[in-house]
């Protein structure tokens, strides 16, 4: 059974930055924000063609004529072609659909549907990326597309459920990455059985084969350096709202975060 490499992350948890670092490494073919229910927005076959040249225009057109090509079959075709070309396919999961859902889907499933869909065809190597829930929320709520659609309570429900999966499959913390990018990337490569390329540290700022809100509302996205960020300012009473939510404390406990520090 062929292997498939997946890293899971929620929106605004550093997935775009780490995706760029993974994607720029030698012989990696990264597909970004991939999900069985998200192909109308992020099509894996189109990304494989446009970003990595895994298929020519004619081949892509022929594949396009196969109306209703199943998601798993599309990933199988891409993985096979990537491997044939000496590459390593990595899928960056669009886990927002599973744990927050809005505004794209009606409600979350709180399951890692990408891994579930692929498990019958592939042996998955998985790792999750997490960020402190307060910092993630402060960044997430800047997105205009989510304005008025995601409450703090629903966010914490989704965050906790994702954290529970993260503990099961193994996780890395965004904050640790900003303090020791090389060390965390070595860990990530080890967990995904991916050859580590030390040149990522110099190549990632120019890597653009990625989806995400690159630099538009993200403070980190405006820099070409990987550095820790101070917590963004917040209105009075917000931290108390977090602290009054039992899911917040449970998530901190299982991911070994402090209430005070991001």
- CATH assignment at residue 76: 3.40.50.300
Q: How far is CA 106 from CA 55, 136, 191, in A?
A: 34, 22, 33
Per-residue pLDDT of the chain (262 residues; tens, 9 = 90+): 999 999 999 999 999 999 999 999 999 999 999 999 999 999 999 999 999 999 987 887 777 766 678 999 999 999 999 999 999 999 999 999 999 999 999 999 999 999 999 999 999 999 999 999 999 999 999 999 999 999 999 999 999 999 999 999 999 999 999 999 999 999 999 999 999 999 999 999 999 999 986 555 555 555 689 999 899 999 999 999 999 999 999 999 999 999 976 5
**61 occurs within a structural domain:** yes
Does residue 52 lie in a domain region?
yes
Q: Is residue 260 part of a domain?
A: no
Is the Cβ–Cβ distance between 191 and 170 less than 8 Å?
Answer: yes
Residue 50, domain member (yes or no):
yes
Q: Give the chain's domain count.
A: 1
Let me know if residue 29 belongs to a domain: yes
| Residue-number span of the structural domain to which 125 is assigned | 3-255
Gap between the terminal Cα atoms of the chain: 40
Task: Tell me if 262 is assigned to some domain.
Answer: no
Residue 123 lies in a domain: yes
Give domain status of residue 261, yes or no: no
């Amino acid at each position: 059974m062929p292997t498939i490499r997946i890293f899971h992350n929620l929106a605004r948890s550093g997935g775009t930055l780490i995706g760029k670092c993974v994607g720029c490494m030698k012989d990696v073919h990264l597909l970004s924000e991939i999900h069985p229910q998200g192909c109308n927005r992020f099509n894996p076959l189109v990304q494989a063609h446009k970003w990595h040249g895994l298929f020519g225009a004619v081949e892509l057109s022929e594949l396009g004529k196969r109306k209703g090509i199943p998601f798993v079959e599309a990933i199988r075709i891409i993985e096979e072609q990537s491997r044939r070309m000496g590459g390593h396919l990595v899928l960056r999961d669009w886990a927002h659909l599973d744990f927050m859902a809005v505004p794209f889907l009606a409600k979350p499933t709180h399951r890692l549907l990408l891994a579930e869909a692929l498990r019958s065809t592939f042996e998955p190597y998985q790792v999750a990326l997490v960020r402190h829930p307060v910092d993630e929320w402060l960044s997430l709520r800047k997105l205009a597309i989510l304005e008025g659609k995601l409450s703090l309570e629903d966010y914490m429900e989704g965050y906790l459920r994702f954290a529970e999966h993260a503990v099961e499959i193994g996780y890395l913390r965004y904050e640790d990455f900003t303090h020791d990018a090389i060390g965390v990337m070595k860990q990530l490569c080890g967990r995904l059985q991916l050859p580590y390329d030390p040149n990522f540290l110099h190549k990632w700022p120019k890597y653009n084969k990625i989806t995400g809100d690159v630099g538009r509302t993200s403070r980190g996205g405006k820099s070409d350096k990987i550095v820790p960020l101070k917590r963004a300012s917040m209105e009075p009473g917000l931290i108390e709202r977090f602290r009054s939510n039992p899911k917040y404390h449970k998530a901190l406990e299982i991911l070994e975060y402090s209430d005070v520090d991001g």
